[in-house]
Amino acid sequence: MIVALFVALIIAHPANAAPRICGLRLTNYLTRICGKGAINSEEMPCFNKIAILNGNSIAMQCCLKGCTEADMEEYCC
């Protein structure tokens, strides 16, 4: 019984699943990823307003479903 439960948990959460990132941690990731081209650390990162205005919420994707660094780059200019 315990072995079956353990196997079910492993199958339900594969190791390659995108991590869920929320709140301040998500903000820090986005600032780092979208600010790669910044000349200095005080320069604001550039976010893709079109992706945001189309209803694609980075918070919904990353916090609820999980996302990778490549997913986050889609929200950068």
- Residues 16-69 have pLDDT tens digits of 678 999 989 988 888 888 887 666 666 777 777 766 665 667 888 898 889 999
pTM, two decimals, is 0.62
**What domain count does the chain have?**
1
Is 35 a member of any domain?
yes
- Could you tell me if residue 37 is inside a domain? yes
Residue 46 lies in a domain: yes
- What is the pLDDT, as a whole number, of residue 14? 52
Q: Is 49 domain-assigned?
A: yes
User: Looking at the domain assignment, is residue 10 inside a domain?
Assistant: no
**Phi/psi class of residue 61: alpha, beta or left (left: φ > 0; alpha: ψ in -120 to 50)?**
alpha
Residue 6 included in any domain = no
Chain CA centroid to CA 77, Å:
16
Range of the domain at 44: 17-73
- With beta carbons less than 8 A apart as the criterion, state whether 50 and 35 touch: no
